[in-house]
Chain A
């Protein structure tokens, strides 16, 4: 841990530990990349652009990341874990599965509307960046599968549903959100909630019951027990 030669302190950051500075630099670089990519597209962004935007030395960039691709993956992972965190927090509060799905979807849409740049990184740019980022995108879809799969227990025909139904439903939800992000209408994202609730619940509960849940209102009212 202790190094013999004292590191030269950065201006104005004398009291901060090396670890803190390193962490902070990482976050600043990742943020600079996300901004550059959203303006120019992944392919047109160079390490020089990122370095300039972050206000750091080129050596510092390579001290944190092996490549532009590495740096993009870090940004994508940060954005996706932030989104998943919101979903887990909102859905975890609710026992009744259909309303749990609704709350999870509401939290996800809210995240996208609130953080369109981060959402864009993990849902739009990720698909056009590099094979590793596409792979991570695909894997992150899987994180949502377990939430939906619980629906088989409450479905009258849960045992007969296709094995891949959850994957397909989540792929559909992501695609719709991706299209709205491409259209640059993040403010309209949250309006999608009723249709996405209905779309995802229909295979489990049938269209009629799915519609009832979808039109009943948001996850918050369900959570406070004000429905019915």
Chain B
């Protein structure tokens, strides 16, 4: 088994907050110096939550990981919740950027779906702590984050709706209005169950299954399977 290639710490691919985030398989060095305190606090929260879980994380944990004072924390955030929201938004923005890039690089919609799913799985596999923060801890981090979580999932709907374009009339007639919602809900459920069970390393192997699941309503089983299994 070869280790996946990850961007290096100072790669422009990583925004500063994420570059400071807890080392996953890539082994980002802790001595990497963040550019400002807010970024350090966000990274500190992600490290603390990875260690303690959301409920067990205190402001003292966050400031210790961020190596800033308690006063500095309160200059940027009024509470742990607010800091978590900032971290969640940072992670999701990065995830969305990667999915967008992968999706837009493909000319054909079925291949674009496959690439988008692949990009998401790759990110979550490479960053198990961030996967946990965004898919498990987010759910217990209070109503504000749960609302954002729901919105983030519903935000994936348009990638699938794009698949209706140019489909034959009899296929379109068979797609109910909630098809896309059900697809994203099903995919997220499959992914989050593995993240929850600390089986993040299995995520990338889900690519063919998730692709086939997502494409079947539009292309039928046989064609969906073909796209899903192509290298």
Residues of A within 8 A of B (CB): 41, 43, 127-131, 134-135, 138, 141, 157, 160-165, 167-176, 178-179, 182, 192, 194-196, 198-199, 202-203, 206-208, 210-211
Contacts and interface: CB of A to CB of B under 8 A. Distances in A.
Contacts of B217: 199, 202, 207
Contact of A174 (B140, B189, B206, B208): B189
B146 A176 contact: no
Given A127-B139, A164-B206, A175-B186, A192 B178 contact: yes
Main SS class of interface, B = helix
Interface string B168-184: 00010010111101111
Contacts of B142: 43, 128
B173 to A, nearest CB: 8
Contact of A165 (B171, B179, B183, B209): B209
Contacts, number: 127
A200 B163 CA distance: 19
16 contacts: A128-B143, A128-B146, A131-B53, A157-B222, A162-B209, A164-B213, A168-B186, A168-B187, A168-B190, A172-B182, A172-B186, A172-B189, A179-B181, A196-B178, A199-B179, A199-B182
Interface residues of B, number: 43
Contacts of A161: 221
Nearest to A195: B176
Contacts of B190: 164, 167-168, 171
Nearest to B187: A168
